[in-house]
Amino acid sequence: MARRGKLWHIRAMTDAPDFDMDLARAEAIARRLSTLTFAWDIEKALEFALFRTYAVPAISGLLARTGAFETATRKRYDDTELLLSEPMEHGLDSARGAEAIARINAIHGRFRIDNREMLYVLSTFVLEPIRWMEHYGWRPFTGEEKRAWVLVYRALGARMGIADIPEDLAGFEALNAAYEATQFRQAESNARIGKVTLDLLLGFYAPKVLFPVLRPVAYCLMDRPLLVAMGFPEPPRWLRWVVLGGMKARAMVLRELPKRRRPRFITARKRPTYPGGYVISQLGNGPVGAGR
């Protein structure tokens, strides 16, 4: 299925093995991808996946109403990243993974969130890393890796109580494309949440004085429907050419370099928001201790 032109078409899983993969094997493969094989790339892909969810007014509007994303942007970002990384890095049904999922469910339970919105957000977690690696990575996901990635997120969605989860990658692509075609619309909340998030992400790499120069670079990694819905300006064609060319050059260099040997765990990273470490039951903006 073509989406966003040839640029973002996901290759068919022709090299997928002909067997039913169990969840334990799928989790091991997904953990290797996110902490070892594509550690930086998958983190960036999921960061850009956030912007796709913000392009939906129903989602950005809820975030704007809670106020947490604008008054405590770094903490809200860290909490989201940690709660999603715990199940991936420690296992969906591990003590830490189960506690993180319970915490997510407790936070979501405070709001009336449509199942279609939950499905769409889940689809971005499935699709954006695969798309990113096909276009920017030093190699794309193999068929087996795509199967594992889908299976893990299907299992996560089930544990979050999401209904009507697609069975396979093609199903996620169809759901994702149909939802964006009808729900991507400009809204003031899209721009508000998008701007504070983008500035936060740029702040990981550069001082604030450089943000006006770096924002157009980030826009180059977004397609036009997303830019329009977010109210972000279209970057100059020459800049997009330079940025995308630089990403392709990076991929070529990485292909020849020695590969990472030690996993990089997001949950082990030191954060200014939690200098002494964090407690899963206190992550997020729900009642402390809610969950398990």
What are the pLDDT digits (tens) for 179-198?
Answer: 999 999 999 999 999 999 99
Looking at every residue in the chain, the average pLDDT score rounds to 90
Amino acid 187 reads A
Q: Does residue 148 register a pLDDT over 70?
A: yes
In sequence order, what are the residues at sequence separation of 6 or more whose Cβ sits closer than 8 angstroms to the Cβ of residue 3? 9, 173, 176, 177
Has residue 292 got a pLDDT over 70? no
CA distance linking residue 261 with residue 131, whole number of Å: 24
Query: Whole-prediction pTM value?
Result: 0.89
Domain spans in the chain, listed from the N-terminal domain onward = 20-257
* Spatial contact of 126 and 179, defined as CB atoms under 8 Å apart: no
Q: What is the sign, positive or negative, of the torsion defined by CA atoms of 195, 200, 201, 202?
A: positive
**Residue 62 pLDDT class (50, 70, 90 cuts):** confident
When pLDDT is cut at 50, 70 and 90, the band that residue 52 belongs to is very high
Q: What secondary structure letter does DSSP report for 265?
A: -
Q: How far is CA 8 from CA 5, 72, 173, 177, 211, in A?
A: 6, 33, 11, 12, 27
Mean pLDDT of 128-132: 98
Average pLDDT over residues 71-79: 89
Where is pLDDT greater, at 81 or 65?
Answer: 81
User: Binning pLDDT at 50, 70 and 90, where does residue 72 land?
Assistant: confident
Q: Is the dihedral of CA 40, 46, 49, 50 positive or negative?
A: negative
pLDDT at 12: 46
- The pair phi, psi for residue 6, each rounded to 5°, is -65, -25
